[in-house]
A and B are shown apart, each in its own frame.
Chain A
Amino acid sequence: MLSHVFKLIWQRKGRNFLLILEMFLAFLVLFALVSAGLRFYRLYAQPLGFEVADTWAVLISMERSWTEKDSETIAQLLPALRQLSEVEEAHVLLHEPFRSGGWGTGFYLDGRLVEAQANRASDGLTDALGMRLLAGRWFGPEDAGQSSTPIVINREFAERYFADENPLGRTIEPDRRWRIVGIFEAFRQYGEFSPSQPYIIERDDGSQREAPSLVLILRPGVTAGFQEKLMNVLQAVAPAWNFDVRDWAEMREAHHRSYLLPLLFAAVLVAFLMLMVGLGLLGMLWQNTIRRSPELGLRRAMGATASAVRLQVVLELLALACLALFLGLLVVVQFPLTGLIEALNWSLFIPSAIISAGILLGLCVLFALYPSFQATRREPVEALRYE
C-alpha cells in the first residue's frame, strides 16, 4: 500500500511540489508559534517566588544625584508610612519587579566567572513578600555593623555555582565582601516570562548610593483611593522628590499583557493561515479525486473496499505531508544542533516538533475526509466510465 502511494506521488511530482512547499511553510509557521507558546508556558509554570497582592511600589525620582542626606530622608519616610493605618509594612527595594533596568554583577569565584542579577532590600521585606527560604536564614538587624555584607542567593545560583558544597557562610566577591546567609526559592524580577537566572539580594543597611524605591504591603481591602493620602504623606516628608505609585498586581498584569497579546495575535493569524491551507488542500483533493475517478473506480472493480479507497486518498495526502514534515524538520533541527537560539534546546525542540507535526497531520486528515468520501460516492461501474 505505502509503496503504491509513494509511486503515485512521484508520478505527479510537478503538481505535488507546490503542495509540499505549502505544507512545509505551514509547518515552519506552526513550529515557530508552538515553540514560542510552549517556552512561555514553561517559564510561566516556574515559581515567581513572591506575592503581588496588596503590594504597592513607590518609585522615587529626583532631578539631581543621590546624597547621604537623601538616605536620612528615607529613614524618616519609612516610619511615617508605617504609621498609616492602611499600611502594614514599608520597605526599601532597589529595583522593583516587572520593570526594565536592573543591576548585573559578575565576579570570579574559585576561578570561575559568576554572573548574576542583584538587588538590595531592607530587613523583613523578603518575609513580607511571602518568599520561600530553603536553607539558612534571612538577613536581619543582627547583621548590622559587621565588616561583610550579608546576602541571600536563589536556588538557581546555589545549584549553578555551588553544585556540591554548602554555600552558607561563604564570603564571595572581593570588592564587596558578600557573605551568604541564606538560600531562597526565587525572585524573578523580570516577571514570569523571563528565564530564571542566578539572583542575589543584598541587605540594605540604610545607606543607599542611588535612589531606591519603596515597597508598601497594604492591609487587605485598601482601595486605589488611598493613593492621594499616600501622596500627601510622601510629599510632606520629601517635598523635593518626585513619586510615582504603582500597584504590583497591575504592573504584573500589564507585563503579562505585553507578552500575551502579541502571542494571541500571532495565534489568531496562524489559525486563519491553517484554515486557509486546509481549504486549499480540500479544493485540490476534491478536484484530484474527481479527475481520478476512473482510476479509483478500477481499484474498486478489482475488489478494493470503499474504505480502502478512502484510506488511499487520505494516505496519499499524509505521505505528502510527511515529506513536507521531513524537509521542515531538517530545517528546524538546525536550531538545537547549532545552538543558534539558546532557548530552543532539545527539551523544547522535541515536544514543539511533535505538537506542530501532529497539528499539521491532523489538519491533513480533517480536510482529506470529505474528498475521500467524494471519491467513493460513485458506483465503480459509473466511476470507470466517468470522464
Chain B
Amino acid sequence: MLRNYLLLAVKVLARRKFYTFISLFGIALTLMVLILLTSLIESFVHPPGPERDSERILLANFLMLVHESQSGGFNRTNGALGYRFIEDHLLDMETPELVSVFTDSTSALLGMGGNEVVGFKDGVAVSSALKRSDANYWKILQFDFLEGRPFNEEEHRQGAYVAVISESTRDRYFPNESAVGEDLVLDGSVYRVIGVVKDVSALQVLAWADIWVPLFATPSLQFRYEERGNLAAMLLASSREGITAIKEEYQSIMRDYRPSLPAGWPSGGELNAYSFPAAKAEFYARIIGGRIGIEASFMEEESTAGRTLVAFLGAFMLAFMLLPVINLVNMNISRILERASEIGVRKSFGASSSHLVRQFMAENLVVTGIGGLLGFLLALLSLSLLEWSGLFADGSLYMNYRVFALGLLYVLVFAVMSGMLPAWRMSRLDPVRALKGAL
C-alpha cells in the first residue's frame, strides 16, 4: 500500500513539472532560511568551543562614574574595570562558583581594535591579539588544547612569562612544528609557550584572542592599584538559577562602593558609580540597541529602554521565524487543494478518511523530504559561502547534530501538519463537492 502511495506521489509530481519545481524550490528555500536562522540562534545560545557554558556566565565589564557639581553640571566617564576594584570587591564574592579577571576585548567586537602585541618572524612584524587573564579563566571557559596546558594559579600569581597561543598563531610563528617549550618575543618580552588551543571565533568576545598570558606577566604591576582600567570580570554561576543571586550580591557591593574622584574633575558635589554584571546576550542587545537608537542606560540594570529593546528584538526575531513557517503552511495547503478532485474520486470509490489521510501523509513526506534535502544542501552551501566570505570567521556559524535534528523536525512537523489538515478536512467533505474541486 505504502509503495502505491509513494508511486502515486511521484507520478503526481511529474505531472506538472513547473508547478512541482516552484513548490519544491519554495519548500527548499523556506527550509534553508529556517535552518540558517536556527544555526544563527544555535551558535548564539549554545556556542561551540570555549564559551559553551555561557548561559551560566555573567560579564562585568564597565564602571561608569558620574559627578554632579553644585552648579548642576556633570562629568561622566564610562570605562572598563580596574584591578583594585575587582580585587577588593569581586574576587571574594560569595555567590559565584568562580570569578575570573581578564583584559577586556569587547571593544574589538565593535571594530574598534583590541590589545595588540607585535612580534617578529623572520624580520616581518606580526601583530596578534593579546589577552591577559588569571588561572580561573581556563576553568570557566572550555578551550580545546591541541598541545600543552593552560597556566595555573601559581604561574598567574608569580607573573610567569608563559603563553598559550592559538593554532593559527602557532602556524605563523612555528610552521610545521610543535610550539610547546619554544620562546616567543612579544613587544620585547620573552614568553615560553606552554599550550596551543584551537582557534576561537571573534564573536566569542570572552574567549577570543591569538595569545593568552598571565595577568601579572608584565614589568610594571602598578595597574593593581587602579580602580578603573582595562579589565573585565567573568562570574560563573553554579546553575542558571544562581544568576539572580550573583546580580543581587553585585548590587549590594555597588551600594557600599565609594569611588575616588578622577583626576581633573572638580571636587565637591556628588560622585556616583554604576556597574552591573550582564549576560553576553544583554551585552549584544545593548550594542544593537545603541546602533538603532535605543540607548539603554548604564545607570540602571532594568531600564525601560532595556525592556523596550528586548521586546523589540524579540518581536522582530519572532516575525523572522514565523514568516518561513507560514509560507510552508501556505504552500502545502495550495498543493493539497490542487488534488481536490482526486480526493473526490477516491472517496466516491469508498476510500475512508483514515486511508486518505495516510496517503497524503506519505505523499507529503516524499515532497517535503525532497524539498528538505534540497534545503539542507542550500543551507550548507550558503553556510560555506558565508564562511568563505569571512563574515563569520572560524566556523562560528555551523551545522551540528542539533541544528540538523531541529531542521529535520521542522520539515516533519510543519509539512505533515500543513499537508494533512486540509487533506483531512477534504476527506470529510461530501464526495460530490470534492469531485468538483470545491472546498
The residues of A with any CB-CB pair to B shorter than 8 Å are 15, 18-19, 21-22, 25-26, 28-29, 32, 36, 39, 61-66, 98-101, 103-108, 113, 173-175, 193, 195, 209-210, 227-228, 231, 235, 240, 242, 244, 246, 251, 254-259, 261, 264-265, 269, 272-273, 275-277, 279-280, 282-284, 286-288, 290-291, 340-344, 387
A18 touching B118 in the complex, CB below 8 Å, given contacts A105-B76, A272-B32, A290-B338:
no
Residue of A64, A277, A343 near B220 (CB, 8 A) is A64
Residues on A with beta carbons closer than 8 Å to the beta carbon of B326:
18, 21-22, 25
Say whether B69 faces chain A, with CB atoms less than 8 Å apart. Answer: yes
A273 touching B323 in the complex, CB below 8 Å, given contacts A18-B333, A63-B222, A287-B337:
yes
- B44-52, B105-113, B176-184 - interface stretch: B105-113
Cα–Cα, bound, A277→B216 (Å): 57
Name 9 extra pairs, CB < 8 A, besides A36-B292, A291-B338: A62-B222, A63-B223, A108-B73, A244-B113, A273-B33, A279-B25, A282-B26, A283-B23, A291-B337
Is A29 a contact of B319 with CB atoms below 8 Å? yes
A280 touching B26 in the complex, CB below 8 Å, given contacts A63-B222, A175-B71:
yes
Residue of B26, B75, B112, B218 near A255 (CB, 8 A) is B112
Say whether B144 faces chain A, with CB atoms less than 8 Å apart. Answer: no
Q: How far is the CB of A301 from chain B (nearest CB, A)?
A: 19
Cα–Cα, bound, A259→B288 (Å): 10
Is A283 a contact of B26 with CB atoms below 8 Å? yes
Listed A/B pairs (15) with beta-carbon separation below 8 Å: A63-B219, A98-B111, A106-B76, A107-B72, A108-B72, A246-B113, A259-B291, A265-B386, A273-B324, A282-B22, A283-B330, A341-B294, A341-B312, A343-B292, A387-B341
The residues of B with any CB-CB pair to A shorter than 8 Å are 19, 22-23, 25-26, 29-30, 32-33, 36-37, 69, 71-79, 107, 109-113, 115-116, 118, 125, 187-188, 218-223, 225-226, 230, 262-264, 266, 291-294, 308, 312, 316, 319-320, 322-324, 326-327, 329-331, 333-335, 337-338, 340-341, 386, 391, 435-437
Is B266 a contact of A175 with CB atoms below 8 Å? yes
Is A251 a contact of B113 with CB atoms below 8 Å? yes
A283 touching B187 in the complex, CB below 8 Å, given contacts A113-B72, A175-B73, A257-B111:
no
Most buried by A among B110, B294, B436: B110
Residues on A with beta carbons closer than 8 Å to the beta carbon of B436:
387
Residues on B with beta carbons closer than 8 Å to the beta carbon of A259:
111, 291
A288 touching B334 in the complex, CB below 8 Å, given contacts A22-B323, A279-B26:
yes
Cα–Cα, bound, A100→B106 (Å): 10
Cα–Cα, bound, A118→B334 (Å): 62
Residues on A with beta carbons closer than 8 Å to the beta carbon of B33:
269, 272-273, 276
Who on chain A is nearest to B68 by CB? A106
Residue of A63, A113, A175 near B221 (CB, 8 A) is A63
Cα–Cα, bound, A287→B20 (Å): 12
A283 touching B337 in the complex, CB below 8 Å, given contacts A65-B226, A231-B118:
no
Q: How far is the CB of A225 from chain B (nearest CB, A)?
A: 9
Residues on B with beta carbons closer than 8 Å to the beta carbon of A284:
330-331, 333-334
Cα–Cα, bound, A18→B223 (Å): 62
A64 touching B222 in the complex, CB below 8 Å, given contacts A22-B326, A209-B263, A341-B294:
yes
